[in-house]
Amino acid sequence: MERFLIRTNKTKDADLKITGKIQEYLEKLGKNVSIELLDDEKIKLNETAERFKEGEQPDLVIVLGGDGTMLRAARDFMFVSVPLLGVNLGSLGYLTEVEVENVIPALDKVLNGEYEIEERMMLEGTFVKAGHEAGHVRALNDISVLKADPFRAIGFDISVNGKFLKDYSADGVIVSSPTGSTGYNLSAGGPIVEPGADLLVLTPVSPHTLMTRSIILSPKDVVEIKLKKPNGGGKYEALASADAAGKHHLESGDSFVVKRSEKRTKFVKVNSVSFLEVLSRKLS
């Protein structure tokens, strides 16, 4: 590897001390290093990164921050298929492979070829208004549709592959990837899934029903979430988001269609620690 991009959440590395340390180390080895700075506010926006010019695509993106920074990087770089190495400057850090005190030994492993590439499934969603496509999003963790009014549950109709599955009166619905199973899905009572798997997890948020279980679906399935009309008239309003970034307004009659993306995110793994060991450590 010769070309490196360091993407830093400057909210987490305010003085750029860690960023500078990595840059200096790689440049002393004759590597080409560029730096891109984001902050917590920009990370949450529904934007896309600039495309690399021909011949300037990095061999590796080193992501400094927490899980939110990694989620943003996954969405931004999915089209160029650049592997990501996460350095944890956050708290839990499910997605970040390396703790900050181990960053130089981890880079040595990468440069010596002592690493594996782990591919993760991604999601894509399309929201439809008045029968017409009104927007498109992509996510590594999850796509959720949540009520806009904090004091009013929403009626949802859920269909899979064009066939009606279930209706909910709930605070929202989450469609999660295996990677996202330890995120909002877990908080809503959904199952934990090994991140290398290929499947969809459908989880209602605070449903007003005895049926509160998540539903595991095939990665080939296409899920449609449609906002019903209230029995007493008026309309429901909801906000849809991908990886909790950006907000898309929906109302009764609108729908959100979610499926597996053809693109996958590549994570660099330099540790032999299994997902279950990481999970046990994080949850304790």
- Among 257, 247, 251, which residue's Cα sits nearest to residue 235? 251
Percent of the residues in the chain that have a pLDDT greater than 70, as a whole number: 93
Query: Could you tell me which residue, 145 or 81, shows the higher pLDDT?
Result: 145
Q: Do 76 and 145 have their domain in common? A: no
Q: How many residues does the chain have?
A: 284
Among the listed residues 15, 39, 67, 221, the single catalytic one is: 67
> Which phi and psi (to 5°) does residue 46 adopt?
-90, 75
Contact in structure between 59 and 107 (CB atoms under 8 Å): no
Domain span holding position 85: 3-114
**Range from 9-18, 158-167, 183-192, 207-216 carrying the lowest mean pLDDT:** 207-216
Look at residue 175 and tell me if it is in a domain. Answer: yes
CA angle 116, 121, 127 (to 5 degrees): 155
Please give the pLDDT value at position 273.
73
Read off the CATH number of the domain in which 160 is found. Answer: 2.60.200.30
pTM tops 0.75, yes or no: yes
What is the C-alpha separation between 211 and 220, in angstroms, rounded? 24
* Confidence at 154, pLDDT banded by 50, 70, 90: very high
Does the pLDDT of residue 6 top 60, yes or no?
A: yes
Q: Do 147 and 178 have their domain in common? A: yes
Q: Of 66, 97, 114, which marks where a domain is finished?
A: 114
Average pLDDT over residues 158-165: 96
Q: Do 97 and 126 have their domain in common? A: no
Look at residue 252 and tell me if it is in a domain. Answer: yes
Query: Could you tell me which residue, 273 or 190, shows the higher pLDDT?
Result: 190
Q: Of 114, 144, 175, which marks where a domain is finished?
A: 114
Read off the CATH number of the domain in which 88 is found. Answer: 3.40.50.10330
Q: Do 175 and 200 have their domain in common? A: yes
Q: Do 14 and 30 have their domain in common? A: yes
Look at residue 95 and tell me if it is in a domain. Answer: yes
* Confidence at 282, pLDDT banded by 50, 70, 90: low
Does the pLDDT of residue 139 top 90, yes or no?
A: yes
Q: Do 78 and 159 have their domain in common? A: no
Q: Do 126 and 241 have their domain in common? A: yes
What is the C-alpha separation between 120 and 141, in angstroms, rounded? 10
Q: Which tens digit of pLDDT belongs to each residue from 92-131? A: 667 888 999 999 999 999 999 999 999 999 999 999 988 8
Per the structure, the count of domains in the chain is 2
Please give the pLDDT value at position 266.
95
Alpha carbon of residue 1 to chain centroid: 26
Contact in structure between 171 and 156 (CB atoms under 8 Å): no
Please give the pLDDT value at position 44.
66
Across all residues in the chain, what is the average pLDDT? 90
Contact in structure between 228 and 145 (CB atoms under 8 Å): no
Average pLDDT over residues 196-220: 92
Query: Residue 38: what residue type?
Result: L
What is the C-alpha separation between 235 and 69, in angstroms, rounded? 35
Look at residue 281 and tell me if it is in a domain. Answer: no
Q: Which tens digit of pLDDT belongs to each residue from 18-53? A: 999 999 999 999 999 999 998 777 676 655 555 566
Residues 28, 93, 123, 137, Cα dihedral to 10°: -80
Look at residue 98 and tell me if it is in a domain. Answer: yes
Q: Do 11 and 65 have their domain in common? A: yes
Q: Do 90 and 126 have their domain in common? A: no
Q: Do 144 and 92 have their domain in common? A: no
Contact in structure between 95 and 71 (CB atoms under 8 Å): yes
Look at residue 271 and tell me if it is in a domain. Answer: no
Look at residue 169 and tell me if it is in a domain. Answer: yes
Q: Of 84, 114, 144, which marks where a domain is finished?
A: 114
Q: Do 141 and 236 have their domain in common? A: yes
Q: Is-catalytic flag, 67?
A: yes
3-state secondary structure 229-266: CCCCCCCCEEEEEECCEEEEEEECCCEEEEEEEEEEEE
Q: Do 252 and 130 have their domain in common? A: yes
Look at residue 33 and tell me if it is in a domain. Answer: yes
